[in-house]
């Protein structure tokens, strides 16, 4: 289960990491506090109870750090995280010279990409001289340390952060399936120049809408314009066909429900593209829906037509 750790604040995430470390290192884990360099570190001295395993445990002076982000799609390969590691390396060098560190652990709720993540670990190894270094990403946090520990889930109320809101996903699925079967049958040709967008007089300028909703320029251009826009005419044709009146009603009902729920839960997401990604995952994960890409197309169309998001 993928808990929405980005919905925790930094202090809560630190407490969560502290709790995990008490379990895998030992009860002697010292909670996060300001260090000499102004950073916030957790500390443990001794032999880890079960890290990386009970048979071959790390030992010595541990420095533990918690790196939290509010971005649900953040990765350890992102440039801002790399810069953070660069700064931390200098601090670790000083700690090593002073004899205050043997093992270095970084916990983050970012996605840990194997190749790039391992490069960062090796970089820390090489530049600090430390052998025992690990970056624990959100996958490991969820799968190994949170999911098996019901007490941690209850203590931090993580079950409340699993699904920020519910909506009529069955209705969306039905529409998506119908889109998938109907798209090839629609004969109207569509020649779209991605760099040229035509607006109806009654539609607000999309640039203003994007700014109000905090939808990133790169996402809008790369995902909506370059990929979804070419199918908007097909969706419009589908919804305008009298034979699809039932699906049209479901479409507007779903859009209305989403609009209200997004407005209520908007603060749970940093940018609007994160809402698109979350809804996509809720519909597609664990479901054998063909043409899953049309989920994004439909959501982008709703946004473009000002049915969801702030106008």
What average pLDDT does range 45-62 have in this prediction? 96
Is 246 found in the same domain as 128?
no
Beta strands, E only, 80-210 = 103-108, 132-136
- pTM given for the model: 0.56
Is 148 found in the same domain as 25?
yes
- Please tell me the predicted confidence (pLDDT) of residue 191: 37
Helix, strand and coil content of the chain, in percent to the nearest 5, comes to: 55, 10, 35
How many whole angstroms from its chain centre is CA 296?
16
Q: Which of these three, 135, 161, 187, is where a domain ends?
A: 161
Nearest-angstrom CA–CA distance, 302 and 236:
11
Give the pLDDT band of residue 189 (cuts 50, 70, 90): very low
Query: Between these two residues, 153 and 267, which has the higher pLDDT value?
Result: 153
> Which domain, by its residues, includes 28?
5-161
What average pLDDT does range 288-305 have in this prediction? 81
**Quick check: helix, strand or coil at residue 50?**
coil
What value does the mean pLDDT of the chain take? 82
Domain CATH for 55: 3.40.1350.10
Nearest-angstrom CA–CA distance, 298 and 105:
42
Is 210 found in the same domain as 150?
no
CB 70 within 8 A of CB 10: no
Helices first, then strands: H and E counts in the chain: 12, 5
- Spatial CB neighbours of 40, under 8 Å, sequence gap ≥ 6: 14, 32, 33, 34, 65, 66
Is 287 found in the same domain as 258?
yes
Is 141 found in the same domain as 206?
no
Whether 311 maps to a domain, the answer reads: no
Quote the longest CA-to-CA distance of the chain. 77
Q: What is the CA radius of gyration of the chain?
A: 24
Whether 309 maps to a domain, the answer reads: no
Determine which of 54-58, 167-171, 193-197 has the lowest per-residue pLDDT on average: 193-197
Q: Which of these three, 145, 161, 177, is where a domain ends?
A: 161
Q: Which of these three, 117, 132, 161, is where a domain ends?
A: 161
Nearest-angstrom CA–CA distance, 75 and 260:
30
Is 187 found in the same domain as 57?
no
Query: Between these two residues, 190 and 76, which has the higher pLDDT value?
Result: 76
What average pLDDT does range 192-198 have in this prediction? 33
Phi, psi of 142 (to 5 degrees): -70, -50
Give the pLDDT band of residue 168 (cuts 50, 70, 90): very low
- Report the number of distinct structural domains present in the chain: 2
Strand partners, 108: 67
**Pairing assessment for the beta strands 40-47 and 30-34 based on DSSP bridges:** antiparallel
Q: What is the pLDDT of residues 77-86, one digit of tens each?
A: 889 999 999 9
**Pairing assessment for the beta strands 59-67 and 40-47 based on DSSP bridges:** antiparallel
Is 246 found in the same domain as 191?
yes
Per-residue DSSP letter, 149: -
Nearest-angstrom CA–CA distance, 223 and 278:
15
Q: What is the pLDDT of residues 271-289, one digit of tens each?
A: 899 888 888 877 766 566 6
- Per-residue tokens: 45: 């001295």
């Amino acid at each position: 289960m993928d808990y929405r750790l980005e919905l925790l604040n930094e202090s809560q995430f630190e407490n969560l990491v502290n709790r995990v470390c008490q379990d895998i290192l030992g009860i002697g884990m010292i909670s996060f506090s300001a260090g000499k360099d102004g950073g916030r570190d957790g500390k443990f001295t001794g032999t880890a109870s079960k890290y990386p395993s009970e048979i071959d445990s790390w030992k010595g002076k541990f420095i533990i750090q918690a790196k939290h982000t509010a971005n649900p799609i953040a990765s350890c390969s992102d440039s801002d995280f790399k810069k953070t590691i660069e700064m931390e390396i200098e601090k670790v060098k000083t700690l090593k010279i002073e004899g205050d560190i043997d093992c270095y652990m970084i916990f983050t709720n970012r996605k840990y990409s194997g190749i790039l993540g391992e490069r960062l670990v090796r970089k820390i190894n090489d530049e600090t001289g430390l052998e025992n270094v690990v970056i624990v990403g959100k996958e490991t946090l969820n799968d190994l340390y949170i999911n098996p520990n019901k007490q941690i889930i209850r203590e931090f109320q993580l079950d409340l952060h699993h699904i920020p809101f519910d909506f009529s996903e069955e209705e969306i699925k039905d529409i998506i399936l119908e889109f998938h079967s109907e798209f090839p049958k629609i004969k109207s040709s569509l020649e779209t120049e991605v760099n040229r967008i035509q607006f109806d007089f009654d539609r607000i300028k999309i640039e203003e809408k994007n700014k109000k909703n905090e939808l990133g320029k790169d996402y809008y251009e790369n995902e909506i314009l370059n990929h979804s826009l070419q199918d908007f005419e097909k969706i419009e044709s589908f919804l305008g066909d009298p034979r699809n009146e039932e699906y049209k009603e479901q479409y507007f009902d779903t859009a209305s429900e989403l609009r209200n729920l997004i407005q209520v839960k908007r603060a749970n997401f940093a940018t609007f593209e994160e809402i698109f990604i979350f809804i996509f995952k809720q519909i597609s994960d664990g479901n054998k829906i063909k043409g899953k890409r049309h989920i994004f197309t439909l959501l982008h169309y709703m946004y473009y037509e000002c049915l969801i998001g702030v106008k």
